Structure 1
Amino acid sequence: MKPTLRKLFFLWFMLSAPIGVMAQEEVNGTVKEASTDLPLPGVNVVIKGTTTGTVTDFDGNFQISVSEFPATLVFSSLGYKTIEQSISGGGAVNVVMEQDVTGLEEVVVTGLATTIKRSNSANAVSSISAEELVGVAQPQTLDGALAGKFTGALVSANSGAPGGGLSVKLRGVTSIFGNSQPLYIVDGVYVDNSSISGGLNDVSGAAGQGSSSNQDNPSNRIADLDPNDIKNIEILKGASAAAIYGSRAAAGVVIISTKRGKQGKTQFNLSQSFGFNSVINLLGLRDWNEERALDAFGEGADVAYAEARDAGTLVDYEKEIFDNKGFISSTGFSASGGGEKTTFYAGMSHKNEKGIVKNTGYERVSLRLNLDHRVSDRIKLSLNSNYIYSSADRGFFNNDNTGSTIGVTLTSLPPWAKLQPDAEGNYPDNIYGGSNPLQTIALMTNNEKVNRFIIGGSATIDIYKSLKSDLQLILRGGLDGYNLNTRAIFPKELQFEKRSNGGLNGQSIQGSTENKNINYSAFLVHNFNTDSNINFRTQAGITREVFDRNSYLISAFNMIASETNVDQAGGQRIDQFRLKQEDSGFFVQEEVNFQDKLIGTIGLRGDKSSNNGDANKLYYYPKASLAANLHEFDFWNLGKVNQFKLRAAYGEAGNFPAFGSPFTSFNSTFIRGVADQSVVGILLDGVLGNPDIEPERQKELELGLDLGLFDNRLNFEFTWYNKKVDDLLVQTNREPSSGFTTEWKNAGNLKNTGVEITLNALPFDGEDFTWNSNVTFFKNKSEITELNVPAFNLGAFGASLGTYRIEEGKSATQIVGISPDGLVKFGDGEPDFQMTFNNNLQYKDLELSFLFHWKKGGDNINLTSLLTDLSKTSHDYDDFGLDPTGTLPNGEYRAGQVGTSADVFVEDASYLKLREVGLYYNFPGELVERWFDGYIANIRLGFTGTNLLTFFDYNSYDPEVSNFGGNGLSAGVDVTPFPSSKRYMFNLSVDF
Structure 2
Amino acid sequence: MKKSNLATKRLWSLFVVCCLMTQIVWAQVGTITGKVIDKAGEGVIGASVLVVGTTMGTITDVDGNFKLDNVRSDATLKISFVGYQTLEVKVAGKKSLTITLQDDTQALDEVVVVGYGVQCKSDLTGAVASVKADDILKNTPTNNIENALQGRMAGVSIVSASGDPTQGATIRVRGANSIKADGGLLVVVDGFIGGTLSMLNPGDIESVEVLKDASATAVYGSRGANGVILITTKKGKSGKVNVNYNGYVNFKKPYTLPDVLSPGQMADLANDYGREINRNSGLDPQVFYDADAVKGFYNGGGYDYLDAIFRDVALEHTHELSVTGGNEKTQFVFSGRYNYNEGTIEESQRKLINARLKVDTELLPWLKAGVNFNGSYSKDSGVNFGGWQNTLVDALNFPNTVLPKDEDGTYHHKDIQGGRKFNPMAHINEVDKDGYYYSSTIQGYVDVTILKGLTLRTTQNFWFGNTSALNTNTKGSLSGWNSGYNSATFTSTQNYSWTNQNILSYVKEFNKNHRINATAVIEQQYSNNMNNKSEGRELISEEIGANNTSLAKKVYGSSGHTRSFMLSYMARVNYVLMNRYMLTASWRYDGSSNLSSEKRWEQFPSMALAWNMKEESFLRDVDFLSQLKLRAGYGETGNQAVAAYSAWTELEATRDANDNLTLTTKRIGTKGLRWERTKQWNAGIDFGVFNNRLTFTVDVYDKLTKDALLDVTAPLYTGFKTRLKNAAEIRNKGFEVTIGADPVATRDFRWNTNITLSHNKGVIESLDGDLEYAIISGGYQNDYFRNIKGEKLGTMWGYVSDGVWKTSELADAPQGTEAGSYRYKNLDGSEDKQITVEDQTIIGNGQPSFQWGWNNTFTYKNFDLSLFVIGVHGFDIYNYTRAARLGVGDSPLELGPNPEWLNRWTPENENSDIAGFISKRNSKKSVSQYVEKGDFVKVKSITLGYNLPETILKRMKISTLRIYASIQNPFLFTGYSGIDPEVTLKSPLTSGIDYGYYPNGRNYLIGLNFGF
* TM tier, smaller: 0.7 to 0.9
Residue 711 of structure 2 is aligned to residue 731 of structure 1: yes
Q: Which residue number in structure 2 is paired with residue 416 of structure 1?
A: 401
Structure-2 change in CA distance of 1:396 and 1:184 (3 Å): same
Q: Which residue number in structure 1 is paired with residue 772 of structure 2?
A: 791
Shift of 1:810: 1.8
* 2:583–2:607 contact (8 Å) kept in structure 1: yes
Matches within 5 A, 1:134-145: 134-145=137-148
* 1:546–1:580 contact (8 Å) kept in structure 2: yes
SS, match of residue 734 in structure 2: strand
Structure-2 change in CA distance of 1:569 and 1:532 (3 Å): same
Residue 969 of structure 2 is aligned to residue 943 of structure 1: no
Structure-2 change in CA distance of 1:738 and 1:760 (3 Å): same
Residue 852 of structure 2 is aligned to residue 835 of structure 1: yes
* 1:874–1:891 contact (8 Å) kept in structure 2: no
Which letter maps to 1:350? Y
Match of 2:330 among 306, 320, 342: 342
* 2:362–2:369 contact (8 Å) kept in structure 1: yes
Shift of 1:569: 1.3
Structure-2 change in CA distance of 1:896 and 1:983 (3 Å): farther
Residue 502 of structure 2 is aligned to residue 517 of structure 1: no
* 2:241–2:323 contact (8 Å) kept in structure 1: yes
* 1:961–1:971 contact (8 Å) kept in structure 2: no
* 2:599–2:673 contact (8 Å) kept in structure 1: no
Q: Distance in 1 between matches of 2:253 and 2:679?
A: 44
Q: For residues 163-215 of structure 1, give each alpha carbon's deviation from its aligned partner in whole angstroms, at most 9, with x where no partner exists.
A: 223321110111110121011111111224xxxxxxxxxxxxxxxxxxxxxxx
Structure-2 change in CA distance of 1:925 and 1:881 (3 Å): farther
Matches within 5 A, 1:366-515: 366-400=354-388, 404-419=389-404, 426=409, 428-432=411-415, 434-465=421-452, 470-494=453-477, 497-498=480-481, 503-515=483-495
Q: Which residue number in structure 1 is paired with residue 832 of structure 2?
A: none
Matches within 5 A, 1:890-969: 891-892=914-915, 898-899=923-924, 902-930=927-955, 932=956, 934=957, 936-962=958-984, 966=987, 969=989
Q: Distance in 1 between matches of 2:754 and 2:247?
A: 29
Matches within 5 A, 1:68-79: none
Q: Which residue number in structure 2 is paired with residue 973 of structure 1?
A: 993
Shift of 1:834: 0.7
Residue 632 of structure 2 is aligned to residue 648 of structure 1: yes
* 2:399–2:895 contact (8 Å) kept in structure 1: no
Q: Which residue number in structure 1 is paired with residue 165 of structure 2?
A: 162
Q: Which residue number in structure 2 is paired with residue 588 of structure 1?
A: 571
SS, match of residue 255 in structure 1: strand
Q: Which residue number in structure 2 is paired with residue 228 of structure 1?
A: 203
Q: Distance in 2 between matches of 1:961 and 1:399?
A: 15
SS, match of residue 884 in structure 2: helix
Structure-2 change in CA distance of 1:672 and 1:165 (3 Å): closer
SS, match of residue 635 in structure 1: helix
Q: Which residue number in structure 1 is paired with residue 865 of structure 2?
A: 848
Q: For residues 231-263 of structure 1, give each alpha carbon's deviation from its aligned partner in whole angstroms, at most 9, with x where no partner exists.
A: 111111232311000111111111101111111
Q: For residues 952-971 of structure 1, give each alpha carbon's deviation from its aligned partner in whole angstroms, at most 9, with x where no partner exists.
A: 222222112259x64x6133
Which letter maps to 2:855? N
Q: Distance in 2 between matches of 1:748 and 1:392?
A: 38
Q: Which residue number in structure 2 is paired with residue 261 of structure 1?
A: 236
Matches within 5 A, 1:133-212: 133-192=136-195
* 1:435–1:494 contact (8 Å) kept in structure 2: no
SS, match of residue 892 in structure 1: coil
Residue 651 of structure 2 is aligned to residue 639 of structure 1: no
Q: Which residue number in structure 1 is paired with residue 1011 of structure 2?
A: 991
Which letter maps to 2:111? V
Residue 264 of structure 2 is aligned to residue 283 of structure 1: no
Match of 2:651 among 650, 658, 666: 666
Which letter maps to 1:644? L
SS, match of residue 387 in structure 2: coil
* 1:279–1:981 contact (8 Å) kept in structure 2: yes
SS, match of residue 328 in structure 2: coil
Shift of 1:891: 4.5
Which letter maps to 1:921? Y
* 2:765–2:789 contact (8 Å) kept in structure 1: yes
RMSD: 3.2
TM-score by length of 1: 0.81
Matches within 5 A, 1:238-253: 238-253=213-228
* 2:266–2:399 contact (8 Å) kept in structure 1: no
Which letter maps to 1:240? S
Shift of 1:616: 7.3
Of 573-582 and 222-231, deviating more is: 573-582
Percent identical residues: 24
Q: Distance in 2 between matches of 1:919 and 1:682?
A: 63
Q: Distance in 1 between matches of 2:492 and 2:84?
A: 50
Residue 111 of structure 2 is aligned to residue 107 of structure 1: yes
SS, match of residue 855 in structure 1: strand
* 1:802–1:861 contact (8 Å) kept in structure 2: no
SS, match of residue 727 in structure 1: strand
Q: Which residue number in structure 2 is paired with residue 292 of structure 1?
A: 269
Match of 1:743 among 701, 720, 723: 723
Q: For residues 677-711 of structure 1, give each alpha carbon's deviation from its aligned partner in whole angstroms, at most 9, with x where no partner exists.
A: x8x753222x3311111101111111001110111
Structure-2 change in CA distance of 1:189 and 1:427 (3 Å): same
* 2:266–2:897 contact (8 Å) kept in structure 1: no
Q: Distance in 2 between matches of 1:176 and 1:228?
A: 35
Structure-2 change in CA distance of 1:775 and 1:703 (3 Å): same
Query: Structure 1: which 5+ residue stretches go unaligned?
Result: 1-32, 39-78, 86-94, 193-220
Matches within 5 A, 1:574-613: 574-613=557-596
SS, match of residue 617 in structure 2: coil
Q: Which residue number in structure 1 is paired with residue 796 of structure 2?
A: 815
Shift of 1:122: 1.5
* 1:624–1:650 contact (8 Å) kept in structure 2: yes
Structure-2 change in CA distance of 1:983 and 1:306 (3 Å): same
Structure-2 change in CA distance of 1:616 and 1:464 (3 Å): farther
Matches within 5 A, 1:646-725: 646-659=630-643, 660-669=645-654, 682-685=663-666, 687-725=667-705
Q: For residues 870-902 of structure 1, give each alpha carbon's deviation from its aligned partner in whole angstroms, at most 9, with x where no partner exists.
A: 24446451476999x994545538995732862
Which letter maps to 1:902? V
Shift of 1:588: 0.8
Larger radius of gyration: 2
Match of 2:555 among 564, 572, 578: 572
SS, match of residue 164 in structure 2: coil
SS, match of residue 269 in structure 2: helix
Structure-2 change in CA distance of 1:442 and 1:525 (3 Å): same
Q: Distance in 2 between matches of 1:230 and 1:436?
A: 44
Q: Distance in 2 between matches of 1:641 and 1:882?
A: 67
Shift of 1:515: 1.1
Structure-2 change in CA distance of 1:536 and 1:84 (3 Å): farther
Q: Distance in 2 between matches of 1:550 and 1:639?
A: 63
Q: Distance in 1 between matches of 2:657 and 2:298?
A: 64
Shift of 1:338: 0.8
Which letter maps to 1:904? Q
Which letter maps to 1:415? N
Q: Distance in 2 between matches of 1:872 and 1:671?
A: 38
Shift of 1:607: 0.4
Which letter maps to 1:620? Q
Query: Structure 2: which 5+ residue stretches go unaligned?
Result: 1-47, 54-81, 89-98, 275-285, 801-825, 828-838, 888-893
TM-score by length of 2: 0.80
Structure-2 change in CA distance of 1:473 and 1:877 (3 Å): same
Match of 2:350 among 357, 362, 369: 362
